[in-house]
């Protein structure tokens, strides 16, 4: 079914949306017109479904020109024909990689709902409502990319910057480049431009187009559909805020596991005192009985100097010898001295100092 070729498409009824009472929305659509996209986004919304199916089944790109066979007739679409059919600008940037960083920097603040620069890897709910709609338009009607339309990408935001900051864009080259990607061999690019291709095919008098179909009104941006878009996005935004609040509240609740981990468990202790405990008590007792440092210092000051342990031993030996000499004869005393000296020498040799 050809309807699958425009299931996510969007078209613009400029006469309707420019009459809205929403200054923000009107300003955004006026910027689209000033960018040079009115002829492309606002052309008559007619679709030739049978011709579209033929066109995409048989299309290819040769030497920068799109060729196809529709109803047995060869059609050839060049960039020049494409530009003239929709009155597209042919001057300015031909590639988004040429976009000035300063322009993107400014646009990030202009479209922001909070006033702070938006995150280019975030979601479109960061933006004011008119720019959320512009994000949808560049995704569905211009770049024609499948995937999440709520996510902001660098490509989508660069296209938005062209409109928001009034950057000159060679829309003829850019949009025709997308058409070539749609029909290129082994291309995975989503199919689109259903209305525009239908109008281009109508310029070939020998091509049988089949019965025309009106483009679904729900996919044309008018006062009614824009208000519906705002209502849906307001509701979704409220639900997102509510969901975020719930998650925050849940995160504040402490689970049983968290409480158990936070409260330290009481360790079971035995009645028997450990060695370390006894040692601690003994140290405390010793500390309590200890003599103050000042008192110790005073005692050291008044005490007389004492002899060393070696001197004391010598004095004792000498005293014993003197007393022994008085009790025994001289010859026996001399023998005893020699024996004692011999014993002393042996003891000294065995002792390690």
Query: Is 0.75 surpassed by the pTM of this model?
Result: no
pLDDT value, residue 281: 38
Cα–Cα distance, 77 to 59 (Å, whole number) = 10
Pairing of strands 60-62, 65-70: antiparallel
- Name the nearest CA neighbour of 140 among 63, 221, 55: 221
Percentage of the residues of the chain whose pLDDT score is greater than 70: 69
The SS3 call for residue 46 is: strand
Neighbours of 162 (CB within 10 A): 26
Tell me the per-residue pLDDT of 259-293, one tens digit each, with 9 for 90 and over. Answer: 455 445 544 444 444 434 444 434 334 334 444 44
Neighbours of 344 (CB within 10 A): 11
User: Which region among 89-103, 216-230, 323-337 has the lowest average model confidence (pLDDT)?
Assistant: 323-337
Terminal C-alpha separation, the chain: 110
Task: List the domain boundaries for the chain.
Answer: 4-221, 315-350
List of residues 6+ apart from 48 with CB closer than 8 A? 198, 201, 202, 209, 210, 211, 212, 213
List of residues 6+ apart from 203 with CB closer than 8 A? 81, 85
Where does residue 64 fall: left (phi above 0), alpha (psi -120 to 50 degrees), or beta otherwise?
Answer: left
Q: Which of 30-34, 247-251, 325-329 has the highest mean pLDDT?
A: 30-34
Residue 4 pLDDT greater than 80, yes or no: no
For residue 81 the two structure tokens come to: 């024909």
Helices (H) and strands (E) in the chain, counts: 16, 7
Is the CA virtual torsion 189, 194, 198, 200 positive or negative? negative
**Residue at token pair 């000035």:** 100
* Residue 221 host element (H or E): strand 220-221
Cα–Cα distance, 317 to 58 (Å, whole number) = 129
Tell me the per-residue pLDDT of 144-179, one tens digit each, with 9 for 90 and over. Answer: 976 667 888 899 999 999 999 999 999 999 999 999
pLDDT value, residue 288: 43
The SS3 call for residue 213 is: strand
Facing residues of 221 across strands? 12
The SS3 call for residue 123 is: strand
pLDDT value, residue 273: 44
Facing residues of 68 across strands? 75
Cα–Cα distance, 343 to 43 (Å, whole number) = 131
């Amino acid at each position: 079914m050809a309807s699958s070729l425009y299931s996510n498409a969007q078209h613009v009824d400029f006469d309707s949306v420019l009459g809205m009472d929403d200054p923000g929305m009107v300003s955004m659509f006026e910027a689209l017109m000033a960018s040079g996209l009115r002829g492309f986004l606002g052309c008559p919304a007619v679709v030739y479904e049978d011709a579209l199916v033929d066109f995409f089944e048989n299309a290819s790109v040769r030497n920068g020109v799109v060729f196809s066979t529709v109803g047995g007739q060869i059609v050839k679409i060049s960039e020049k024909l494409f530009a003239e059919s929709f009155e597209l600008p042919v001057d300015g940037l031909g590639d988004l990689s040429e976009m000035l960083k300063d322009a993107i920097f400014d646009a990030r603040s202009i479209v922001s709902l909070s006033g702070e620069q938006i995150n280019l890897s975030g979601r479109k709910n960061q933006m004011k409502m008119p720019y959320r709609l512009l994000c949808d338009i560049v995704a569905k009607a211009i770049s024609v990319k499948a995937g999440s339309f709520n996510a902001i990408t660098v490509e989508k935001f660069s296209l938005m910057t062209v409109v928001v900051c009034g950057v000159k864009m060679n829309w003829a080259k850019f949009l025709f480049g997308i058409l070539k990607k749609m029909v290129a061999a082994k291309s995975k690019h989503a199919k689109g431009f259903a209305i525009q291709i239908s109008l281009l095919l109508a310029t070939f008098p020998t091509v049988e187009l089949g019965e025309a179909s009106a483009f679904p009104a729900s996919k044309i941006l008018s006062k009614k559909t824009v208000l519906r878009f705002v209502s849906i996005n307001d509701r979704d935004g409220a639900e997102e805020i509510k969901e975020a609040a719930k998650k925050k509240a849940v995160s504040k609740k402490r689970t049983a596991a968290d409480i158990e981990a936070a409260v330290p468990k009481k360790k079971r202790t035995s009645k028997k005192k450990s060695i370390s405990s006894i040692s601690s008590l003994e140290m405390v007792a010793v500390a309590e009985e200890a003599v103050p440092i000042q008192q110790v210092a005073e005692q050291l000051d008044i005490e007389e100097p004492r002899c060393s342990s070696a001197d004391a031993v010598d004095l004792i030996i000498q005293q014993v010898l003197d007393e022994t000499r008085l009790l025994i004869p001289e010859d026996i005393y001399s023998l005893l001295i020699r024996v004692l000296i011999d014993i002393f020498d042996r003891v000294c040799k065995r002792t390690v100092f």
